[in-house]
Structure 1
Amino acid sequence: MTIDINKFSRESKSDFPANKKLKEKLKKTKPRDLDAKFHSLHEEVFEDIDCLNCANCCKTTSPIFIQTDIDRLAKTFRMRSSEFIDEYLFRDPDGDYVLRSAPCPFLGADNKCLVYEDRPKACREYPHTDRKNMLGILDLSLKNTLVCPAVLKIFYEIGKEYRK
């Protein structure tokens, strides 16, 4: 399935207020089966969505780089960790290491990650919709509805049940 990023951007912004209400409702009601619903929808949605047709996450946002990510990537590039930090990263207002620029400098023209085998943990786990304790990361998931078409679709499907 080809992703129209402009259409997705309009839809995600338009749906954001409703998704924010859904997030608040989920936090309030604390459904016991929320992880199972997210995980099931994650599998279903990613049967149709191919990240290589989108890569919006890599084009617009930065993962947080933990020290093991930095060390691993520095080794890949045969650099010292401090050199990798100086060349690619900076500390954001929260004190986390993030990329200096967008799109990601490791994103190829074909939307493939040039450091896929060594990519940061945050990239490996993105969009985090198959993690345990989804209730605890609903704020992050809501933000990701503006970045990832799959997360937007998952929120839409969950909302069918909970927006009643």
Structure 2
Amino acid sequence: MDLENFRRESKSEYSSNQKLKNRLRKVKPKVLDEQFSQLNDEVFEEIDCLDCANCCKTTSPIFLNTDIDRLAKVFRMKSSGFIEEYLHRDEEGDFVLNSSPCPFLNEDNKCLVYEDRPKACREYPHTNRKKMHGILTLTLKNTLVCPAVFKIFQQIGKDYRK
């Protein structure tokens, strides 16, 4: 995966994708959900997250208390110790990683805690869920992080760009 090329292309298409996001708000919710779900399945037939892992290299998931407790157990730590070592609160008050890339990302792009990873990681990039209208802003942001989301946006845009 050529991440440098992806970064350039996704940035150059961002304003066009912003306009597309605004047009997508007018699509019936059920139709939008179905389109995203179908494109999600198609795109992830082609793209292997292990070839990229850009999400793990550049952003932090939000850690819920259940995630923190589960991972603290994995590392045989108290939850407070896990927070102290790995997390801080962001501007919105959510727990996020202290640094990127993720400390649990191995050199082969595999996750050290994959079976116990946070809920946000399990659900990322959120393109196959219901109520896509509610997360279009997040999905737009993710076009800059995830090549699959960028490709999904490009595909869905074929039907809605003017």
TM-score range for the pair, normalised by the shorter chain length: over 0.9
Superimposed CA distance per residue, residues 101-135 of structure 1 (whole angstroms, 9 cap, x where no aligned partner): 00000000000000000000000000000010001
Q: Indicate the residue corresponding to 1:11 in structure 2.
A: 9
Q: Indicate the residue corresponding to 2:76 in structure 1.
A: 78
Amino acid corresponding to residue 161 of structure 1 in structure 2: D
Deviation at 1:56, TM superposition (A): 0.1
Superimposed CA distance per residue, residues 13-65 of structure 1 (whole angstroms, 9 cap, x where no aligned partner): 00100100000111134454000000000000000000000000000000000
Q: Indicate the residue corresponding to 2:158 in structure 1.
A: 160
Q: Does the residue aligned with 1:28 lie in a helix, a strand or coil? A: coil
* Structure 2: gaps (5+ residues): none
**Identity %, equivalent residues:** 71
Amino acid corresponding to residue 61 of structure 2 in structure 1: P
Q: Indicate the residue corresponding to 2:67 in structure 1.
A: 69
Write the distance in 1 (CA, Å) between the matches of 2:32 and 2:133. Answer: 7
Q: What is the correspondence of 1:100-119 to structure 2 with a 5 Å cutoff?
A: 100-119=98-117
Write the distance in 2 (CA, Å) between the matches of 1:133 and 1:11. Answer: 27
User: Does the alignment pair 1:58 with 2:26?
Assistant: no
User: Does the alignment pair 1:147 with 2:121?
Assistant: no
Q: Does the residue aligned with 1:152 lie in a helix, a strand or coil? A: helix
Alignment counterpart, residue 19 of structure 2, candidates 14, 21, 31: 21
Write the distance in 1 (CA, Å) between the matches of 2:25 and 2:43. Answer: 23
* Structure 1: gaps (5+ residues): none
CA-atom RMSD in angstroms: 0.8
Write the distance in 1 (CA, Å) between the matches of 2:6 and 2:142. Answer: 12
Write the distance in 2 (CA, Å) between the matches of 1:104 and 1:78. Answer: 19
- Evaluate the alpha carbon distance shift between residue 131 and residue 31 of structure 1 in structure 2; reply closer, same or farther with a 3 A threshold: closer
Q: Does the residue aligned with 2:13 lie in a helix, a strand or coil? A: helix
Q: Count matched residues.
A: 162
Superimposed CA distance per residue, residues 61-111 of structure 1 (whole angstroms, 9 cap, x where no aligned partner): 000000000000000000000000000000000000000000000000000
**Aligned partners of 2:29 and 2:131 also within 8 Å:** no
Q: Indicate the residue corresponding to 1:136 in structure 2.
A: 134
Amino acid corresponding to residue 62 of structure 1 in structure 2: S
Q: Does the residue aligned with 2:88 lie in a helix, a strand or coil? A: strand
